């Protein structure tokens, strides 16, 4: 996975740039990231209970943190 996908997702989420987040959802090769974005955007658009939206946002942010950390650890282990 490209770490830039995680950085872009965080950036677009922070800026509330839902169109760009949707494009990233379609283009990323990380299926879990794609699903997390999909669930968040669906909740943001259609859910009337703010706690559900907040829960999906936190799930997306937790995954971004986890994936970026694991990717960085992997890249640091590579030789050279």
Residue 74: the pLDDT is 73
pLDDT at 35: 98
Q: Are 33 and 9 in contact (CB under 8 A)?
A: yes
pLDDT tens digits, residue range 49-71?
999 999 999 999 999 999 988 88
The structure's pTM equals: 0.88
Ordered mean pLDDT values, 10 residues apiece, the chain (80 residues): 84 97 97 98 97 98 93 74
What's the sign of the alpha-carbon dihedral 74, 35, 6, 29? positive
Angle, CA 62 vertex, CA 59 and CA 25 arms, to 5° = 65
pLDDT score recorded for residue 1? 52
Decide if 44 contacts 53 (C-beta within 8 A). yes
């Amino acid at each position: 996975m490209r770490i830039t996908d995680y950085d872009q997702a965080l950036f677009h989420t922070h800026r509330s740039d839902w169109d760009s987040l949707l494009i990233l959802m379609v283009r990323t090769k990380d299926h879990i990231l794609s699903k997390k974005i999909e669930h968040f955007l669906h909740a943001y658009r259609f859910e009337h209970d703010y706690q559900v939206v907040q829960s999906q946002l936190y799930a997306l942010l937790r995954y971004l943190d986890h994936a970026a950390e694991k990717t960085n650890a992997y890249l640091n282990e590579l030789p050279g």
